[in-house]
Amino acid sequence: MQAIVIHKIGSFSIEEVPVPLPAQQEVRVRVAVTGVCRTDLKIIEQGHRDLVLPRIPGEEVVGTVEAVGPMTDPTWLGKRVYLYPGTACGECPACQAGADNLCRSMQIMGFHRDGGFASHVVTPVKSLLTLPENLSFEEAVFAEPLSCCLNALERAELKAGERLAVWGAGPAGTLLARAARQQGAEVTVIEPDLLRRRRAGGVEALSPAERFDVAIPAVGSPEAYHQALAALAPRGRLVAFSGLHPNEASHILNINTFHYLEQRVTGAYGCAFRHGEEAIHLIASGAVQVEDLISHRLLLTELTEALDLVRTRAGMKVLLTP
Ligand SMILES: [Zn+2]
């Protein structure tokens, strides 16, 4: 099968590799659509804490089950599925607390094991979610990024009626804003780019007096974090949703501000399995629109072009098909 393979940080190749065989309690999925996100750009160009090489990347994947491993439920065959990218143990303290994404033996598709930038991918049965019939593959592939947004809003303990500020109106920022509005929050999106700002109904900059209960940078820029901290109300919560370059990450917080204003900072990294169920429901029911965020549909072999679109922010969501 054709696959994108990263052998060393900084480059990838398009290769012919053997079609993977599912083991016990695993299935092989014929990939229908994969989403490209900033994380893919980051892992290829800079590497990532969880990346083990060589690797086929791709963590936003939907498709059809075409083979099951030995001793594995054959009724999965032919099902249209979303693949939760994590494999968690289900038993450690994090898993018991519903935070599978923090499982001590977490294995992430596209990082620890091969992902969906290929025509086929193998995944454990316990990572599968069946798609409703009315949900297209192109919409369903948003379940992964939306799940990460739901996790961030949960970590923020966002309540209806609260004010939320989101920095960046790219695909992630827009999904965050839509999910938060759906939860009854009053959302302001800060975005310098005119087209993205218009689409999101956002603002170019905040006025100095504005304060928010929750602030979420959805761009990996230290400046967004500085602005987010400055705009945080007393008892406000900052969510570290976007990672920063390691050189930039350690100079952001002033502990005394948190002391005097009783604020909190919380991280958000990935998503739990249950967020996938919720995300699929939100998309399938129309509560969170996603289709208008698709700007490009490219072939797997056009990954260079796809990554350029992500890097330059020239598009919104870029989808790949094998
Ligand atoms: Zn665990």
Cα 185 to ligand 1 centre (Å): 32
pLDDT band at 250 (very low <50, low <70, confident <90, very high): confident
Give how far Cα 130 sits from Cα of 89, 123, 274, Å.
21, 14, 13
User: Which whole number is the average pLDDT over 287-312?
Assistant: 97
Cα 95 to ligand 1 centre (Å): 4
Q: Please list the residues that pair with 156 across neighbouring strands.
A: none
Please name each of the domains of the chain with its CATH number: 2-142+290-321 (3.90.180.10), 151-267 (3.40.50.720)
Cα 99 to ligand 1 centre (Å): 8
Single-letter code of the amino acid located at 187: V
Cα 112 to ligand 1 centre (Å): 15
- How far out from the chain centre does Cα 274 lie? 14
Cα 90 to ligand 1 centre (Å): 5
The side-by-side arrangement of strands in the sheet containing 212-217 is 186-190, 163-167, 212-217, 232-240, 264-267
Cα–Cα distance measured from residue 249 to residue 46, given in angstroms and rounded to the nearest whole number: 15
For 115-141, letters b (16+ CB in 10 Å) and e give: bbbbbbbbbbbebbbebeeebbbbbbb
**Helix-strand-coil split of the chain, %, nearest 5:** 35, 30, 40
Helices (H), the chain: 38-45, 93-96, 137-140, 143-156, 171-182, 194-200, 222-230, 246-249, 255-261, 273-284, 303-312
Residue range 163-175, pLDDT digits in tens: 999 999 999 999 9
Average pLDDT, the chain: 96
Nearest to 219 by CA among 252, 244, 198, 194: 244
Cα 23 to ligand 1 centre (Å): 21
**pLDDT over 90 (residue 127):** yes
**Which residues hold their Cβ within 5 A of ligand 1, which is an ion?**
88-89, 92, 95, 103
pLDDT band at 249 (very low <50, low <70, confident <90, very high): confident
Cα 127 to ligand 1 centre (Å): 14
Cα 131 to ligand 1 centre (Å): 25
Residue 251 is predicted with a pLDDT of 84
β-pairing verdict for 2-5 and 186-190: unpaired
Residue range 31-70, pLDDT digits in tens: 999 999 999 999 999 999 999 999 999 999 999 999 999 9
pLDDT band at 245 (very low <50, low <70, confident <90, very high): confident
Cα 87 to ligand 1 centre (Å): 9
